[in-house]
Amino acid sequence: MNSTPAIDEDRALVGAVLAGDTPAFAGLVRRWQTPLVNLAWRFCRDRGLAEEMAQEAFLRAFRNLAQWRGEAAFSTWLFALAMNVYRTELRRIPATMQSLDEIAEPADAGDAELRPDASRRDEALRRAVLALPEKYRDAVLLFYFHEQDIPAAARTLGVPEGTVKARLFRGRELLRSRLSRPKPARTAARLTQHPKEAR
C-alpha cells in the first residue's frame, strides 16, 4: 500500500509540518484521505459519520505527528491511530446494531437458487460483521481493508499475526454459526442502523 518514493514523500511532508510549515499537512491529508475515509466507512456505513471520524483521525495525527519516529511506514502509524479514533468514536456514538442472534439469515452461500439475492446477502453479511464483538470485527474489517494482507492488518492492530489469524477464524466461525441458524428475526430486520441514518 506504500512504495519507497511514497514513504520518502510522507517523511518529507511530516518533516515540513514539524518544522513549522503547517499548511504542508494538506499534502498528507490529500494522500491519505481516501483510505482513511474508507476505513471509517467500513465501520459505520455512513458517509457523513465516516468523514467526521476521518477528520478526527487527521486532527489526532496532526497533534501527535512528532510521535511518528519513522521506524514504521507513515501509513501504518496513521491507520493504527485512526483505528483507535474510530473505536473510541463508535463507542461514544453507539450504532443501534442488532445482535448476531437478531440478524436475518442471508441466502445460503452455497445455494444457487438464492443467488439473485446475492446483494441482499452481502449487505446482511456486512451488517453481521459490524455486529461482531469488537476484536473480531476489527480483525475481519482490517483484513479486507488491507486486501487480505494479514501482516498489514496485524501492524495496524498492533498485535501479532497469529492473533489476527485466530481472530479472523473465530470471527468467521461466529458469523457462520449465527447466520446459518433458522431465521427468527428476518421480518423484524432492524439491521445495523446508525442514529443518523434513522433521521
Partner 1 sequence: MNPPQPSDWNRALDEALSEDRDGILPSLGFTDSVMTAVLSQAPAPLRFPWKRALPGLIAGGAALAGFAAAGVRALERMPATAPGSPARDWRPMLEPILQHATSPDTLWTLLALMIPVVTLWLTRRLLFSR
Q: Which of 171, 169, 189 lies closest to 121, judged by CA?
A: 189
Q: Is 183 in the site for partner 1 (CB under 8 A)?
A: no
Q: Which of 106, 109, 88 lies closest to 43, judged by CA?
A: 88
> Per-residue contact track with partner 1, 115 to 154, x per CB under 8 A?
---x--xx--xx--x----------xx--x--xx------
Q: Is 95 in the site for partner 1 (CB under 8 A)?
A: no
Q: Is 89 in the site for partner 1 (CB under 8 A)?
A: no
The nearer residue to partner 1, 112 or 198, going by C-beta atoms, is 112
Q: Cα angle at 47 between 43 and 48, to 5 degrees?
A: 110
Q: Is 88 in the site for partner 1 (CB under 8 A)?
A: no
Q: Is 84 in the site for partner 1 (CB under 8 A)?
A: no
Instruction: State the cell numbers at 95.
Output: 450504532
Q: Which of 198, 91, 190 lies closest to 138, judged by CA?
A: 91
Which of 9, 11, 16, 33 is close enough to bind partner 1 by CB under 8 A?
33
Instruction: State the cell numbers at 198.
Output: 434513522
Which of 10, 13, 14, 37 is close enough to bind partner 1 by CB under 8 A?
37
For residue 98, what is the DSSP state? P
Instruction: State the cell numbers at 80.
Output: 493504527
SS3 letters across 25-36: HHHHHHHHHHHH
Given a contact cutoff of 8 angstroms between Cβ atoms, the answer to whether 123 and 199 are in contact is: no
The nearer residue to partner 1, 30 or 186, going by C-beta atoms, is 30
Residue type, 41: W
Task: Report in angstroms how near the CB of residue 165 gets to partner 1 at its nearest.
Answer: 13
| Residues at the contact surface with partner 1, assessed by CB under 8 A | 20-23, 25-26, 29-30, 33-34, 37-38, 41-42, 47, 50-51, 54-55, 58-59, 62-63, 106, 108-111, 118, 121-122, 125-126, 129, 140-141, 144, 147-148, 172, 175-176, 180
